[in-house]
Amino acid sequence: MDLLVRLVRDKPLGAAGGAVFVFFLLCGIFTGVLAPQGLNETDLYHRLESPSPDFLLGTDHLGRDVLSRVLYGAQISMIVALLAAGLATVVSIAIGIVSGYFGGRTDLIIQRFVDAWMVFPGLVLLIVVISIVGAGLTQMVIILGLQYGIAGSRMVRSAAVTVREQMYVHAAQSIGARSLHTLVRHVLPNVMPVVIVLFTTRIGLVILSEAGLSFLGLGIPPPATTWGGLLSGTGRTYMYLGPWLALAPGLCLTIVVFAVNVLGDALRDLLDPRMRGSQ
């Protein structure tokens, strides 16, 4: 709560970014109410119509309302974003805290594994894994969560290393607190600032990755509608006849990711001075 007040007062731009994200979140939650047409409702009398008062963003080659499809896309994007970014954060916390707090050989082995993991381009790794486990919402969330969770664990680790040397942790250890207790009660609360920033920045990355995979035809399969999917497949051939088809999904993607990035930058400045200016 206190953080929210500080955000609005000190970083109005970041707060605006947050507001835009919440707007898309609400669009995702209330899609069913907001969308003028059903998910795959076709209207063959109104095919490839340019934007008009009846169809605010035009229609596609099957007469489906683009606005409705973009809204359903927002729903998928938001579900994937929150779940995958949430999972990624949990994975980062687990790996980062264990590696940073215990140190020594545990840390060394975990960190070499993380090194090796980070060698693979996110997109290539995702493509390979999806070729193995198949496409789908659940797989997407788990894969993106693992991918960005392992990559982001570095930030939690470096915070945990600092916390480990604090007096209160030594105090807890010396009165015989178990490791798990120390980790949950003392280390975790003190790496929370990093975790909040991590979660926010992951949202943007996850949304972009999901869209990229859907664009390549490896995302969540139809009938589900995703922003990346709207820009790929058969839709592409009709873009030359109806260029408006190419605009809305990409614009939404850009606005959401831009907003979340601005929010992430602002939170980083507020919460974690050490990370200021870094990418």
Partner 1 sequence: MQAYLIRRLLALFPTLLFVSLIVFGSIRLIPGNVVDLMLAQNDVSTGQDRERVEAALGLDRPITVQYFVWLGDALQGDLGKSLWQGTSVAAELAARVPITFELGFLALIVALTTALPIGVYSALRQDTAGDYLTRSFSLLMLAIPGFWLGTLVMVFPSVWWRWAPELDDPPFFQNPLKNLSHMLVPAILLGLSLSAVTMRITRTMMLEVMRQDYIRTARAKGVGEVLLVVRHALRNGLIPVVTLVGLQAPVLIGGSVIMEQIFVIPGMGLLLLEAVFSRDYPVVSGVFLIVGVGVLLINLAVDLSYGFLDPKVRHQ
Which residues bind to partner 1, rule: CB under 8 A?
112-113, 115-124, 127-133, 204, 208, 211-212, 215-218, 228, 231-232, 236, 239-240, 243, 246, 249-250, 253-255, 257-258, 261-262, 277-279
- Least gap, CB of 136 to partner 1 (angstroms): 13
Question: Which one-letter amino acid corresponds to residue 127?
Answer: I
- Least gap, CB of 159 to partner 1 (angstroms): 20
Nearer to partner 1, 10 or 38 (CB): 10
Nearer to partner 1, 1 or 119 (CB): 119
- Least gap, CB of 272 to partner 1 (angstroms): 16
- Least gap, CB of 112 to partner 1 (angstroms): 4
Picking from 179, 234, 184, the residue whose alpha carbon sits closest to that of residue 62 is 234
- Least gap, CB of 180 to partner 1 (angstroms): 27
Nearer to partner 1, 19 or 184 (CB): 19
Nearer to partner 1, 38 or 243 (CB): 243
Q: Residue 223: is the preceding peptide bond cis (ω within 30°)? A: yes
Task: Dihedral sign for Cα 33, 36, 37, 39, please.
Answer: negative
Nearer to partner 1, 162 or 261 (CB): 261
Nearer to partner 1, 17 or 193 (CB): 17
- Least gap, CB of 210 to partner 1 (angstroms): 10
